[in-house]
Structure 1
Amino acid sequence: MKRSVEVAVIGAGHAGLNAVKEIRQATDDWVLINGGPLGTTCARIGCMPSKVAIHLADSFKARDRLDRYGIAGGDTLALDPSKALEHIRDLRDTFVDLVLANTTDEMDPEHLIDGYAEFIGPRRIRVGDDEIVAKAVVIATGARSVVPNHWQEAFGDRILTVDTLFDQETLPRSVAVIGLGPVGIEIGQALRRMGVSVTGIDHGQRASRLADPAINRAAIEILGREFPLWFGDEPEVEPCCEGLRVRAGQREVEVERLFVSLGRRPNLERLGLERLGVPITSRGAPRFDPETLKVGRHRVFVAGDATGGLATLQRASAQGRIAGYNATHRRLRRYQPGTPMWIVFSDPNIACVGASWNQLDERHLAVAERRFGPVGRTLIMGQNRGLLRVYADRRDGRLLGAAMIGPRCEHLAHLLAWGIESGLTVETASKMPFYHPVIEEALQEALIELQAELARSRWLHRLFRGWKRRSGQGVPAATRAARPAI
């Protein structure tokens, strides 16, 4: 069957569903093509089930503090891995049902097509035995976990990823987490708190991509109290009698399974993008305009995880809306990502907002840091490990960014991101109302320290300018020559 439509959207994740929302405001002549299970990455394997696992693990870990609070018997509590995983799946299925109920469940077969899409020309798409001719196309095919091919072939189901972890019937006794980015840190800690022996391994030197060296050191020290973290060596894996032997430099460990978190790669191989004459980057994504999301010279747009790079639901949703609008309008909108922010839901949280450390100009940089140790609320909670670092521009006092590891830093990250997005100066931010006792007092103290640092910088700058005037430095040569000798 051959059919013509105004717009074809490929992929029913967050980006694709948000593209459809925009498209429906302009036309009813569209199709949504989806191969594989419905339900977004966030709901099925990502943000939501992982946070269920983290909450469950943190709740079980809290038993360690019960004796300190005068509650006896905390150490006798036990976790049933099968029931824990069943609980995670139950909530995961609830999240998926909520997504489907408000989106694809309401679509008729005329609009929702089950199958994998393949370009057979710039405007022609094959789905099974059918051909769709579309005036515009939105590619929102998502991404999948990266696993080295030789590992996949050699070790098969002994490899776990976020795509497969929550479908297990029980937990392994031991795991090596390969890749200590945000996912590796979150899942590694959750598994350890649920009773799994965990070893974390990364060939780099940074935990969770942290560019700020002080926060990176603090993160490695704090997280390393719960399970070993090996940095700086490429892991080598081989089978052994009990499972797998993992070596990294001079260290080795035997484990039942690997949990691989080496990033995600766009699901684009099936599409046949070479028929559009589109070059593919090393990340596996097509080259595209990062503002209009347009691919090549055709009316093809890409959104969400299919673009490569750091995956977040907010980014996928925003790009989906832009791509959907641009697919139905001649005057293109531009994607403006706003203040960067990412949060790792480990315990304690890790977060970065605004400009990262390696993007800052040290000549004009002011930094204040505050430890969470003496903050009253964190002491009450028994969670007072961590460090906050806030960055500002010495020239105009604007907030530039921050990095942190500490209790409930997800909230501090949002406050700082809103302040940076609004163009707040340190002086203005430090005058904002704060309450007591709250974790936000750590931010208040950092802002006060930063304001004092900026005041010292201004005083030194004025002093230096005065010295230059008195000494004649910086004065035009003709003026210096006219001065009488002393």
Structure 2
Amino acid sequence: MAHKAKLAIIGAGTAGLTALKEARRHTDDVILINNGPYGTTCARVGCMPSKALLAAAHGYHRRGFLAEAGIRGTEGLSADIPSLMEHVRELRDRFVAGPTRLARSLGERSLRGRPRFLDANTLAVGDERVEADAIVIATGSRPVMPAPWRDLGHRVLTTDDFFEQPDLGHRVAVVGLGAIGAELGQGLGQLGLEVHGYTRSVFVGGLSDPAVNEALIAGLERSMSVTTGADVALEAGDGDTVRVLANGDSREVDWVLAALGRRPNIDGLGLEALDVPLDDHGMPQFDPLTLRLGELPVYIAGDVNAAQPLMHEAADEGRIAAYHALNPDAGCVGRRTPLAIVFSEPQAARVGLGYAQLPAERFVTGDADFSGQGRAVMMGRNAGRLRVYADRHDGRLLGAEMAIPDGEHVAHLLAWAVEQRLSVDDALQMPFYHPVIEEGVRSALHAARRSVETARPALELPLCDTPAAWALGGEDPA
């Protein structure tokens, strides 16, 4: 049987479903092909269930602060891990339901099966054929698992199976301390498990600023051990345990969480039939702006292209790919300011250009230490570091890295400032309340401003010729 469509989308994850939404703004002549579970990686095994677990873990960890503040009875609290895991799954299932309904709403235009390219306009799906004017590859990714580790069976988990566990052994090694490893490692430690974290890099949580990285490691080490620069090997231990070998040390644990990153799902797609260059990993070359493979009517979006494996980036790429697939002669679509957040305590984030990406000798740094920041002290969360980066010549904000309380909110404010091309002076004209975490942002901006060559004099109030909207009515709403 042959199916024909203007657009075929391979994959029903974030990028694929967002491509579907964008495509349906232009046409209903779309076919969705999916092989595997419906629902996004984020909702099923990523950001949503992990944040459900972290909400409970961070809250439970606060019992020490509450006791110090005079709240009695906190010593009677305990973590019921089986009940918590069931709670996480219940929330997970709620978040998965929406994307699943959207995919299935296509009826006969939603195909199940593993597709394979026959040429740039034709896919084989089992015994069926799909002919499309354009095709979007949005097949997502899967966790990396070294082959020898698979032989250890249920003792080595990835996020694909972690959330299905009815209970968790007490001693755990987390190998890989990117976003997911740092978050879950700390969360499990806060719940009372004995956690040992390992990473080959000297950096954790996707950071690149040494000072901010040091602050995040200090935060993690309150709940777990952290070993950086580690080459890790695993072998069967005594009984049902796992022996972790790293940098000459050996440790027995009950299980291991492998958080080594994710691998694009390009196997079996038949990309060799497209006659485009493939790298050593079988990944095709593509235009980073349009996501198009050469001059072919084929686009690649989301985690599968391994460019920026974050949900909001995958969603944007789904829109971009579908838009260009249906409007191939249109100008390129702009990308938003990069933003990445780790929901640890303190929360880590990277905005715009990270430290390692900054142009040499063209930037200045503004630093704020949160160990004595007023609002953070009141909450018993006074730890961390914020570093903002600005152009040395004109003061335009370039980016930031942070490991601070409520970093998710500060990161958004700074991302918006970078997106609007604000300078340090522009940002300092914005209102800051007292006492709030954002006052730490002002401290960092002041520190950066002192090194900017074209900084204005000290007055940082807006000028009268640009009144705020509330002032047009003649009254201050306060």
| Same topology, TM > 0.5 | yes
Q: 2:122 aligns with which of 121, 124, 127?
A: 124
What is the aligned partner in structure 2 of residue 291 from structure 1?
Answer: 289
Comparing 408-417 with 233-242, greater Cα deviation is found at 233-242
The aligned runs of 1:265-276 (5 Å cut-off) are 265-276=263-274
What is the aligned partner in structure 1 of residue 50 from structure 2?
Answer: 50
- SS of 2:235's equivalent in the other structure is strand
What is the aligned partner in structure 2 of residue 199 from structure 1?
Answer: 196
What is the aligned partner in structure 2 of residue 188 from structure 1?
Answer: 185
Q: 1:369 aligns with which of 337, 359, 367?
A: 367
Alignment deviations for residues 220-258 of structure 1 (CA, whole Å, 9 cap, x no partner) = 222222211111121111111141111111322111111
Q: 1:164 aligns with which of 145, 161, 175?
A: 161
After TM superposition, the score normalised by the length of structure 2 is 0.92
Check whether the contact 2:392–2:453 (CA below 8 A) recurs between aligned residues: no
What is the aligned partner in structure 1 of residue 401 from structure 2?
Answer: 403
- Per-residue deviation at 1:442? 0.4
Amino acid at match of 2:126: G
What is the aligned partner in structure 2 of residue 312 from structure 1?
Answer: 310
Q: Distance in 2 between matches of 1:439 and 1:27?
A: 46
Amino acid at match of 1:345: F
- SS of 2:452's equivalent in the other structure is helix
What is the aligned partner in structure 2 of residue 250 from structure 1?
Answer: 248
Alignment deviations for residues 81-110 of structure 1 (CA, whole Å, 9 cap, x no partner) = 111000000000000113333x1242212x
The aligned runs of 1:218-229 (5 Å cut-off) are 218-229=215-226
Structure 1 residues 436 and 458, CA gap change in structure 2 (3 angstroms): closer
Alignment deviations for residues 179-222 of structure 1 (CA, whole Å, 9 cap, x no partner) = 11111101111111222211001111111232111111222222
Q: 1:439 aligns with which of 437, 441, 446?
A: 437
Unpaired runs of 5+ residues, structure 2, are 458-478
Amino acid at match of 2:394: D
Structure 1 residues 43 and 284, CA gap change in structure 2 (3 angstroms): farther
Q: Does residue 108 in structure 1 map to residue 107 in structure 2?
A: yes
Check whether the contact 1:123–1:135 (CA below 8 A) recurs between aligned residues: yes
- SS of 2:160's equivalent in the other structure is coil
Q: Distance in 2 between matches of 1:280 and 1:163?
A: 28
Q: Distance in 2 between matches of 1:146 and 1:310?
A: 16
Q: Distance in 2 between matches of 1:365 and 1:5?
A: 50
Alignment deviations for residues 425-472 of structure 1 (CA, whole Å, 9 cap, x no partner) = 11111121000110000011121222233369999xxxxxxxxxxxxx
Q: Distance in 2 between matches of 1:419 and 1:66?
A: 35
Q: Distance in 1 between matches of 2:117 and 2:217?
A: 46
What is the aligned partner in structure 2 of residue 217 from structure 1?
Answer: 214
Check whether the contact 1:143–1:265 (CA below 8 A) recurs between aligned residues: yes
Q: CA RMSD in A?
A: 1.8
What is the aligned partner in structure 1 of residue 466 from structure 2?
Answer: none
- Per-residue deviation at 1:330? 3.3
Amino acid at match of 2:38: L
Q: Distance in 2 between matches of 1:123 and 1:30?
A: 14
Check whether the contact 1:285–1:308 (CA below 8 A) recurs between aligned residues: no
Q: 2:324 aligns with which of 318, 323, 326?
A: 326
Task: Give 1 or 2 for the bigger CA radius of gyration.
Answer: 1
Structure 1 residues 457 and 443, CA gap change in structure 2 (3 angstroms): closer
Check whether the contact 2:178–2:205 (CA below 8 A) recurs between aligned residues: yes
Check whether the contact 1:119–1:273 (CA below 8 A) recurs between aligned residues: yes
What is the aligned partner in structure 1 of residue 94 from structure 2?
Answer: 94
- SS of 1:370's equivalent in the other structure is strand
Q: Does residue 230 in structure 1 map to residue 252 in structure 2?
A: no
Check whether the contact 1:247–1:253 (CA below 8 A) recurs between aligned residues: yes
Q: Distance in 2 between matches of 1:344 and 1:45?
A: 16
Comparing 308-317 with 84-93, greater Cα deviation is found at 308-317
Identity of aligned residues (%): 43
Q: Distance in 2 between matches of 1:3 and 1:356?
A: 46
Check whether the contact 2:276–2:285 (CA below 8 A) recurs between aligned residues: yes
Q: Does residue 241 in structure 1 map to residue 232 in structure 2?
A: no
- Per-residue deviation at 1:283? 5.6
Alignment deviations for residues 393-433 of structure 1 (CA, whole Å, 9 cap, x no partner) = 12111111111111001111111111111111111111210
Structure 1 residues 174 and 278, CA gap change in structure 2 (3 angstroms): farther
- SS of 2:425's equivalent in the other structure is helix
The aligned runs of 1:465-480 (5 Å cut-off) are none
Q: Distance in 2 between matches of 1:297 and 1:362?
A: 36
What is the aligned partner in structure 1 of residue 352 from structure 2?
Answer: 354
Structure 1 residues 370 and 330, CA gap change in structure 2 (3 angstroms): closer
- SS of 2:8's equivalent in the other structure is strand
Q: Does residue 425 in structure 1 map to residue 423 in structure 2?
A: yes
- Per-residue deviation at 1:11? 0.4
Comparing 418-427 with 353-362, greater Cα deviation is found at 353-362
What is the aligned partner in structure 2 of residue 147 from structure 1?
Answer: 145
Q: Distance in 1 between matches of 2:122 and 2:83?
A: 48
- SS of 2:381's equivalent in the other structure is coil
Check whether the contact 1:124–1:133 (CA below 8 A) recurs between aligned residues: yes
Higher helix share: 1
Q: Distance in 1 between matches of 2:132 and 2:67?
A: 65
Check whether the contact 2:176–2:260 (CA below 8 A) recurs between aligned residues: yes
Comparing 414-423 with 331-340, greater Cα deviation is found at 331-340
Q: Distance in 2 between matches of 1:118 and 1:412?
A: 44
- Per-residue deviation at 1:333? 4.3
What is the aligned partner in structure 1 of residue 170 from structure 2?
Answer: 173
Amino acid at match of 1:104: A
What is the aligned partner in structure 1 of residue 377 from structure 2?
Answer: 379
Q: Distance in 2 between matches of 1:97 and 1:3?
A: 27
Unpaired runs of 5+ residues, structure 1, are 460-486
Q: Distance in 1 between matches of 2:38 and 2:182?
A: 28
